[in-house]
């Protein structure tokens, strides 16, 4: 049944049936410091190269409910073509593509997590309604206005000066209970003075009335030292009951001016106020930087090059991550772009995951993160965070689709898959954790302490099935995934038999590698065939089970022995 209030667009009901791919690590592109700089150094950060919708799906099994902060800066659909993104998608297509990604992000967020989306006027208001639908209107926390441009454009009817940052959390307004305050800077502290040498330290005057008329206990009348009567102005009330008021007068916490005739005001002491500042919705360029500052940061890292038109300044990400996370929390950016989110998260001691499809993942993000790890990135928030280098990251790419069609149009296991990759992929599809045992060849993964899975492309006969059944304890169960089997499956009460690939044929879309926000993916767009470029991968010994030597037929091409599989 449809909701009564919703945003509709062409193709809204069309949703991709995503294949949960496995991730393949390439150690030659992973990078780590040679030694620990501090005990808190983090090495298990992840840079994933590939379509971000498939990559988000690949992360879901391991990270559902675990990501503390998501910051994304998706293409704004402005109609201007950037070098690395086609940023001119038709509105309906753009909404559908963003919706698909946000639905997975919602499942990745921790119960106390938060999502921050940078956006402009082109799609910002539609995006707000879309997010209300996906996360629930009660999950909306606020919309920040970021002053990304502080000059003045003579070409525009109204000179643009800002972008938005939408903020959502599963906790909604209760998120204030877990969010962090911003550090109290010199400018804020400078408002506190001590002209009367109060032993309690610097102070400033604060209001004594609050809006709204309340019960009689907060609607009393007092007399100032000069004898003037003071009552709350219409539509307001005292902030404390009368007994508390006079107690504060005795303690020197309420002042009436030099002549004792002013309206009373409260002395607020710096030593007694909360340690930080409540974040505001207005983020000025002086506070968090602007677009030109961001470009200068990139140019300092890559002199003579301007690889991105719309990077975000490190100070902007520093503010987001400060408010939303604590050291060790996971920060995710599925539109990594120039890698600013990962760079700032790394300097701040947060774990990070970045996803990027463009080739600049290799030409800019990897070199940038290497400089951060080596302590050679001296710009951005390096000084503010006291960053000196350390930690590292692991590089992953998406595995190819598990199934491909043979010459007759039948779905078969992709020839690029070796035994370890196949076992990991089937585990993910069936909801098992891939954890091959060193002791039992038939334990490729588990869903509980007593439920296991075994994956092979062999045809198993009755004797082999009986041997498996005898090995598996009566109190345990084993899901056997094989190409075929002979015998009566009902004879083995602790075994469940399924055939590969028939068992997974209807689970998802196979052979679809590109769901990117690119005009080439618009419906009815003609695409010429492109010869796939072979990808060199590396494998761990553990990923290949020697007990399955005959897994693939003679026509299969095994993946080079060097692949570390990440389910």
Q: What pLDDT score was predicted for residue 527? A: 45
Tokens read off for 565 = 């599989």
Give the integer Cα–Cα distance in Å for 567 and 547: 20
Topology of the domain comprising 59-183+278-359: Rossmann fold (3.40.50)
Q: What pLDDT score was predicted for residue 518? A: 53
Bridge-partner residues for 563, per DSSP? 539
Q: What pLDDT score was predicted for residue 184? A: 82
Residues of the chain whose pLDDT is less than 50?
A: 80-83, 85, 88, 519-520, 522-563
Per-residue pLDDT reduced to its tens digit, 433-484: 999 999 999 999 999 999 999 999 999 999 999 999 999 988 899 999 999 9
Give the integer Cα–Cα distance in Å for 486 and 492: 12
Q: Which residue intervals of the chain bear CATH 3.40.50.150?
A: 59-183+278-359
The answer to whether 29 and 536 have CB atoms below 8 angstroms apart is: no
Residue with structure tokens 């030694």? 35
Each as own residue / partner, the long-range contacts of residues 186-189 (CB below 8 Å, 24 or more positions apart, any chain) are: 188/277, 189/270
Q: What pLDDT score was predicted for residue 76? A: 73
Give the integer Cα–Cα distance in Å for 84 and 78: 14
User: Which residues make Cβ contacts (< 8 Å) with residue 269, sequence separation at least 6?
Assistant: 192, 198, 200, 201, 202, 203
Q: What pLDDT score was predicted for residue 222? A: 94
Q: What pLDDT score was predicted for residue 188? A: 76
Tokens read off for 65 = 């409910």
pTM: 0.83
Q: What pLDDT score was predicted for residue 1? A: 55
Tokens read off for 409 = 């149009």
DSSP 365: I
Give the integer Cα–Cα distance in Å for 323 and 317: 10
C-alpha pair distances (Å), 219 with each of 213, 240, 261:
8, 10, 20
The answer to whether 559 and 418 have CB atoms below 8 angstroms apart is: yes
């Amino acid at each position: 049944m449809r909701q009564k209030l919703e945003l509709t667009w062409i193709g809204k009901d069309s949703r991709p049936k995503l294949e949960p791919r496995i991730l393949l690590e390439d150690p030659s592109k992973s990078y780590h410091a040679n030694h620990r700089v501090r005990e808190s150094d983090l090495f298990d950060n992840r840079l994933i190269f590939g379509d971000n919708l498939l990559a988000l799906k690949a992360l879901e099994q391991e990270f559902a409910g675990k990501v503390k902060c998501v910051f994304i800066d998706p293409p704004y659909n402005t109609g201007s073509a950037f070098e690395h993104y086609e940023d001119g998608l038709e509105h309906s297509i753009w909404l559908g593509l963003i919706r698909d990604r946000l639905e997975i992000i919602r499942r990745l967020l921790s119960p106390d997590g938060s999502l921050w989306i940078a956006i402009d006027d082109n799609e910002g208001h539609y995006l707000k309604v879309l997010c209300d639908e996906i996360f629930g209107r009660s999950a909306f926390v606020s919309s920040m206005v970021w002053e990304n441009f502080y000059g003045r454009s003579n070409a525009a009817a109204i000179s643009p000066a800002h972008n938005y940052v939408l903020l959502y959390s599963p906790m909604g307004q209760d998120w204030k209970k877990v969010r962090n305050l911003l550090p109290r800077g010199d400018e804020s502290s400078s408002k506190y003075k001590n002209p009367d040498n109060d032993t309690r330290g610097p102070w400033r005057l604060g209001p004594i009335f609050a809006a709204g008329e309340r019960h009689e206990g907060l609607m009393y009348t007092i007399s100032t030292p000069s004898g003037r009567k003071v009552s709350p102005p219409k539509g307001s009330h005292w902030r404390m009951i009368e007994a508390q008021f006079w107690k504060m007068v005795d303690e020197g916490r309420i002042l009436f001016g030099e002549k004792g005739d002013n309206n009373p005001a409260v002395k607020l002491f710096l030593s007694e106020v909360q340690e930080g500042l409540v974040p505001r919705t207005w983020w000025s360029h002086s506070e968090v930087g602007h677009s030109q500052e961001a470009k200068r940061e990139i140019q300092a890292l890559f002199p003579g090059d301007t690889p991105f038109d719309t990077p975000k300044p490190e100070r902007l990400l520093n503010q987001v991550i400060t408010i939303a996370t604590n050291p060790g929390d996971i920060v995710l950016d599925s539109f990594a772009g120039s890698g600013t989110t990962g760079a700032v998260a790394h300097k701040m001691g947060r774990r990070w995951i970045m996803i990027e499809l463009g080739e600049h993942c290799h030409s800019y993000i990897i070199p940038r993160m290497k400089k951060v790890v080596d302590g050679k990135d001296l710009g951005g928030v390096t000084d503010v965070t006291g960053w000196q280098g350390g930690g590292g990251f692991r590089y992953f790419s998406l595995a190819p689709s598990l199934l491909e069609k043979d010459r007759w149009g039948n779905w078969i296991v992709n020839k690029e898959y070796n035994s370890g990759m196949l076992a990991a992929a089937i585990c993910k599809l069936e909801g098992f954790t891939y954890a091959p045992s060193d002791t039992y060849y038939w334990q490729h993964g588990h869903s509980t302490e007593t439920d296991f899975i075994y994956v092979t492309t062999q045809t198993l006969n009755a004797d082999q099935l009986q041997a498996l059944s005898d090995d598996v304890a009566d109190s345990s169960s084993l899901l056997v995934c094989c190409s075929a089997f002979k015998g009566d499956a009902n004879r083995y009460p602790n075994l469940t038999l399924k055939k590969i690939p028939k068992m997974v044929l209807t689970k998802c879309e196979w052979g679809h590698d590109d769901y990117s926000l690119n005009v080439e993916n618009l419906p009815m767009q003609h695409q010429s065939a492109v010869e796939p470029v072979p990808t060199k991968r590396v494998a761990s010994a553990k990923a290949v089970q020697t007990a399955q030597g005959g897994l693939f037929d003679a026509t299969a091409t095994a993946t080079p022995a060097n692949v570390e599989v990440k389910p």
